[in-house]
Amino acid sequence: MLFRAKGFDAVSMDEVAKGAGVGPGTLYRHFTTKESLYDAVLEAWAEKVNTAVDQALSLDAPAREQLLKWLTDFAAMLTEHKGAAARITAALGDPGSPFAAKCQTYLGANQRVIDALDSALRPGVEAMQISRLVGGVAAVADNSDLPADSVASMLSIIVDGLLAA
C-alpha cells in the first residue's frame, strides 16, 4: 500500500482518496481521522506480533538469544511502515489514541516474554519499559534509515541491560 512505501506523513488524504477512486469526504465517513485510517492499515501486520513471540520463545537457546531474537523482530516490525514506530511508541500510555489496540498487543507480547524468561531477567522489569526502549530504538532507526546491524548493536546493549546482573 501507499503508506508502506512512502510513509504516513508523505501520503496525503487526497492521494489515498484518488487511489481508492472516491472523494476525500467519503474517506472521512469511514475513518474519523487520518491516524485512524493508518491504524486500519496496520491491522493485519499487528497480528504477526504474537507469532514472533512464539518463535523467539521456542528457540532452543539461552535467554539472551531468545530475547535478542524477539526484540530484533519487534523492532523490524515497527520499522516496516515508515513513521509507525514513533507513533505507536508515543501512544503507549494513551488509551485515547487510535493505536490503543495495537499498544495493548505490544505490551501483552512483552509481558509474555517477561513471564517466560522470568528469573533470567533483571528483577522488576516492566513490559512498558521494554516497549518504550525498543520503540525508541525503532523510531531512531526509522528516522535515520539505519542498517540492520546498527539496530542490532543497540538492541544488544539493551538486552544486556535487561538480563539479571
Given the rule CB under 7 A, which residues bind DNA?
9, 11-14, 21-26, 28-29, 32-35
Nine-digit cell at 110?
512483552
**Do 72 and 152 touch, CB atoms closer than 8 A?**
yes
- Residue 26 contact partner, candidates DNA, a second copy, none, CB within 5 to 8 A by sort of partner: DNA
> To the nearest whole angstrom, how small is the minimum distance from the Cβ of residue 112 to DNA?
34
Q: How far apart are CA 113 and CA 1, in angstroms?
A: 31
Q: Which lies closer to a second copy via its Cβ, residue 1 or residue 101?
A: 101
Q: Check residue 104 for interaction with a second copy (CB under 8 A).
A: no
Q: Check residue 88 for interaction with a second copy (CB under 8 A).
A: no
Q: The cell 540492520 sits on which residue?
A: 148
Q: How far apart are CA 108 and CA 146, in angstroms?
A: 27
Interface with a second copy (CB under 8 A), residue from 16, 52, 86, 117: 86
Q: Check residue 148 for interaction with a second copy (CB under 8 A).
A: no
Nine-digit cell at 128?
512498558
Q: How far apart are CA 42 and CA 120, in angstroms?
A: 33
Q: Check residue 160 for interaction with a second copy (CB under 8 A).
A: yes
